[in-house]
Structure 1
């Protein structure tokens, strides 16, 4: 990802982004072009989309892929999470079906270039969303998954599950059944993993 120094208002960015050929993030006037994803990143994202979609088929929740934009007004931040789950009514920014306001779960698939950002600043921005309750980080270069959840206390988050075992599974708050790491990492290549 590389930052482009432009001073655009959020409205100007949105108009520009809707016509652009490539995706970019926006934060308080700065546009950051998004780099293409690796094979493993794309594979993990696709695998998760299938697994989550099956589990939410007859649910009040729905999921969206990385092409669905998220707007966080308190941070003046537009971004594209890898996957989101929304439970209840989907709140949109306007009459265009491309920008959401109320994710319940956000899933980011980590790459070498984005891992630190996804863990720190981006997580901080996400935590300002009132509906946001769960953050899932999945490494695309090695077998590692973290599940963070918001506790009953205001603004307190806890790491509720962390695993590096391919024979393990994760249970997300909004899903009726767990997802195995073997299914998450199916057809990826060259991953480091522990299975003891």
Structure 2
């Protein structure tokens, strides 16, 4: 369940304290804290299936996939967001602060649930677009993926994949995953 309290703003230090003591996922968005419970078994299966394929695909290359245990900080003047994307890909020599990344990922997969759908399609969508995430995939647990590609600074839906299709990355065109595998238990 995703919770937030309107009109109450937290400092980064307050967020860090809450995050350290919360048994779930905590994310920060310019003073607002989003809390979500631990993910479902179905969510975890989808996450592990995508990440397993990405791990193998990027082996020996200059990129690596990460999961929601690692934080990505999106920061500019008067703007700070600390998100934990479900799965993301970082390439090259990226700037880090401890266990957090300060550089935008190349690709992000967010797996929707009833409690996260609004922020994944709203605040995160616009943040990822603003900070230059090249490909943003919204994964619906009912068996489809909507791929958004950054074109001239704005996201465009470049594909929708369902069971029976092959997911093809718009950034790494030889990255192809059977969508049935992604949703297989």
Bin of the TM-score, shorter chain as denominator length: 0.7 to 0.9
SS in 2 for 1:3: coil
**2:168 maps to 1:171:** yes
The aligned counterpart of 1:77 is 81
Point out where structure 2 has 5 or more consecutive residues left out of the alignment. Answer: none
Does structure 2 retain, via aligned residues, the 8 Å contact 1:91–1:102? Answer: no
1:120 to 102, 119, 122: 122
Query: Quick one: distance in 1 between partners of 2:110 and 2:134?
Result: 14
Q: CA RMSD in A?
A: 1.9
The aligned counterpart of 1:191 is none
The aligned counterpart of 1:190 is none
Aligned-residue offset at 1:10: 2.3
Query: Quick one: distance in 2 between partners of 1:128 and 1:78?
Result: 14
What's the CA shift string for 1:128-174, capped at 9, x where partnerless? 213x100011111x1111111111x2x2221111023x111111123
1 or 2, which has the higher strand percentage?
2
The aligned counterpart of 1:101 is 103
Query: Quick one: distance in 1 between partners of 2:64 and 2:181?
Result: 20
Query: Quick one: distance in 2 between partners of 1:82 and 1:116?
Result: 15
Query: Quick one: distance in 2 between partners of 1:169 and 1:42?
Result: 21
The aligned counterpart of 1:60 is 62
Deviates more, 1:11-20 or 1:37-46: 11-20
Query: Quick one: distance in 2 between partners of 1:37 and 1:129?
Result: 26
Does structure 2 retain, via aligned residues, the 8 Å contact 1:61–1:174? Answer: no
* Number of residues of Structure 1 aligned to a counterpart in Structure 2: 180
Does structure 1 retain, via aligned residues, the 8 Å contact 2:129–2:154? Answer: no
